[in-house]
């Protein structure tokens, strides 16, 4: 149950291409001249002898391998796979500064056995009021714990707004959310499993010898009215002295 860790937290308050080489045609070796005859040879005629006539060189026929058709292009290299983004760890004990915001709030008390149901009822009441007056949320829903004991706690359920709602019920009011230096922690999972988160917060404050104020804040990053309880994401802020 959450009461033990939250009580421990309150108790501490005072104390991450190869180019192809084309070879030239081989040089032709001239044929040797005929040997001289002993008998005198007749005078040469004006017409060239058949042996002296130059026969045209045969036209080289390109082999199939040397045909003009281009060889198939090599496939382009496969694109390198884009690495998956690295998921960073949630902040743990991150120093931050809370800025005050205008909120509509309702005060309540709860016992530990039905704590989450009581908080949900408080958020429902605030949402009903805002929906009737057409006022949109200006931020995430919050719970501010004002005191805790063995049996339960008192709290303020708050929703940031940009305009003032009209005709508020007696248990509701307009005010400001907490402000000042704080440490930020993140909880993922159900409300009932926040024991481990608060135990880690308590140990962190103890190790760092930090003094907290007499309150702490839960900011619901997921809508608690629409999100399965085991899928909640909650920022826990511990204001420092």
Domains in the chain, ordered, with CATH? 2-12+104-239 (3.20.80.10)
Q: Flag whether pLDDT at 19 surpasses 60.
A: no
Structure-block tokens of residue 118: 């009581």
What pLDDT is stored for residue 214 in this prediction?
84
Of residues 2 and 224, more confidently modeled: 224
Summarised one tens digit per residue, pLDDT across range 219-237 is 999 999 999 989 999 999 9
Summarised one tens digit per residue, pLDDT across range 39-62 is 444 444 444 444 444 445 444 454
* 72 band by pLDDT with thresholds 50, 70 and 90: low
pLDDT cut 70: percent of the chain above it:
63
What pLDDT is stored for residue 9 in this prediction?
59
Structure-block tokens of residue 74: 């090599």
pLDDT (mean) for 132-136: 96
Are the C-beta atoms of residues 1 and 195 closer than 8 Å to each other? yes
The conformation of residue 229, written as its DSSP 8-state character, comes to G
Are the C-beta atoms of residues 106 and 142 closer than 8 Å to each other? no
């Amino acid at each position: 149950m959450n009461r033990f860790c939250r009580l421990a937290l309150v108790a501490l308050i005072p104390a991450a291409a190869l180019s192809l080489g084309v070879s030239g045609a081989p040089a032709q070796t001239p044929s040797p001249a005929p040997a001289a005859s002993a008998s005198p040879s007749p005078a040469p005629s004006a017409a060239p002898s058949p042996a002296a006539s130059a026969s045209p060189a045969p036209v080289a026929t390109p082999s199939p391998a040397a045909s003009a058709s281009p060889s198939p292009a090599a496939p382009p290299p496969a694109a390198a796979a884009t690495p998956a983004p690295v998921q960073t760890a949630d902040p743990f004990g991150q120093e931050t500064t809370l800025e005050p915001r205008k909120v509509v709030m309702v005060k309540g008390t709860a016992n530990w056995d039905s704590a989450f149901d009581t908080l949900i009822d408080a958020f429902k009441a605030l949402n009903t009021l805002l929906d009737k007056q057409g006022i949109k949320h200006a931020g995430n829903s919050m719970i501010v714990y004002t005191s805790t004991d063995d049996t339960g706690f008192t709290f303020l359920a708050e929703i940031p707004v940009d305009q003032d709602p009209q005709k508020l019920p007696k248990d509701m009011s307009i005010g400001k959310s907490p402000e000042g230096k704080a440490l930020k922690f993140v909880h993922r999972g159900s409300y009932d499993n926040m024991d481990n988160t608060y135990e880690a917060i308590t140990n962190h404050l103890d190790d760092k010898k930090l003094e907290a104020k007499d309150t702490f804040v839960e900011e619901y990053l997921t809508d608690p009215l629409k999100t399965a309880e085991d899928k909640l994401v909650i920022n826990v802020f511990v204001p420092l002295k």
